[in-house]
Amino acid sequence: MVEKSPSFAIRYHDVVPASISGRELIQILSAFNNISVKASRTFYGSDIQATFKISHVQPGSIDIQGFVEVAALAQSVFPALPSLALGISDIPELIKSWLDILKFLQGKPPTTVQNVSKGNAVQIQNSSGDTQVVNGNVYNTFIFNDIGRDASKFEAPIKRGAKQFDLMKGKRRIGSYSPSDLAQFRPIKPAASPIESEIDAILEVIAPVLEGEGVWRVKYGRSGMTAKLTDDEYRQDVVSGRESFRHGDRLKVRLKTIQENIGDKVSTKHFITKVIGRI
């Protein structure tokens, strides 16, 4: 048995469909599919089978509608990370949040990413010096999924005369982006300086390593990753027996993420700088 997400769509205004080549249309469909699947895996977890389906492409315009099918028993990962919700109740809203970050960053990496007080919010500063506070988990999933790489494919109809790009949920418009916005939908990669962020996060322990580099295998939400434990006090507590845990235990931690260019590749590393407590 499967359940459907709310239907959602991308819509272009004032464009002649015949001006779009078949190759460009395939790229748009592929990008819409990729972002939708990434949002569903972020929302429900990478171990849940989710399928994005295009319901129709409206004739006479570029209006691509679809939905995501998931197992009926699938539960959003958000309850395990309450601050991730922040008004985000479904997949279309998560996609909107990602596109809004792209719009704000103007195609360039943030100049700073700073934690706001103690919690999951981060303040990001764009290349123009403007700042915006966003949920840290939403920001990190935006970076992890390289949303700009897919969203850059949405610009083709703009080059053919489209005046506006909308994200729809059902019949309601939840996001609107101008030609200048789409021109700056680009992969967000580190420039001269690494991109750093640090937030409170809930990690599920898969395979702890206390010796050597201390690189743990964990789940963030339901996505697997590795993170180096740099909290020496907690490490000593475990070694001495004052702290113990099993596979599947969840810990609230300070999670630091660093992205930097190494040669011609982008390296992303995670660090557990402080274990706050057991969940």
pLDDT tens digits for range 13-23: 877 666 778 88
In the prediction, which pLDDT does 83 show? 42
Number of residues assigned to the chain? 279
In the prediction, which pLDDT does 82 show? 47
For residue 248, the one-letter residue type is G
Average pLDDT, the chain: 80
Tokens, residue 180:
């200048």
In the prediction, which pLDDT does 154 show? 94
**Nearest one of 97, 71, 100, 102 to 84, comparing CA atoms:** 97
Please indicate whether residue 40 or residue 1 has the higher confidence score (pLDDT): 40
Write the pLDDT tens digit of every residue in 152-187.
999 988 888 888 999 998 889 999 999 999 999 998
Query: Around 237, how many Cα atoms within 13 Å sit in the side-chain half-sphere?
Result: 13
**Highest-scoring range by mean pLDDT, 28-32, 209-213, 253-257:** 28-32
Alpha helices in the chain, H assignment, sequence order = 22-44, 82-85, 91-105, 136-144, 147-151, 156-159, 179-182, 232-240
**pTM to 2 decimal places:** 0.76
- Report domain extents, the chain: 2-182, 195-278
Write the pLDDT tens digit of every residue in 43-73.
776 556 666 766 656 655 677 777 777 665 4
Cα 106 to Cα 126: distance, rounded to the nearest angstrom: 7
Parallel, antiparallel, or unpaired: how do β-strands 223-229 and 265-278 relate? parallel
**Nearest one of 66, 60, 57 to 26, comparing CA atoms:** 57
Write the pLDDT tens digit of every residue in 222-254.
667 889 988 888 888 877 878 777 777 888 888
In the prediction, which pLDDT does 91 show? 85
Ramachandran quadrant class, 5 (left: phi over 0; alpha: psi -120 to 50; beta: rest): beta
Q: How many CB atoms lie within 10 A of CB 180?
A: 10
191-203: average pLDDT:
76
In the prediction, which pLDDT does 57 show? 61
186-206: average pLDDT:
79
Fold for the domain defined by 195-278:
OB fold (Dihydrolipoamide Acetyltransferase, E2P) (2.40.50)
As a whole-number percent, the residues of the chain with pLDDT over 90 amount to: 20
Write the pLDDT tens digit of every residue in 68-126.
776 654 555 544 554 444 557 788 899 999 999 999 999 888 888 887 766 677 889 99
Write down the residue that tokens 């992890």 correspond to.
144
pLDDT at 41 over 60: yes
In the prediction, which pLDDT does 60 show? 53
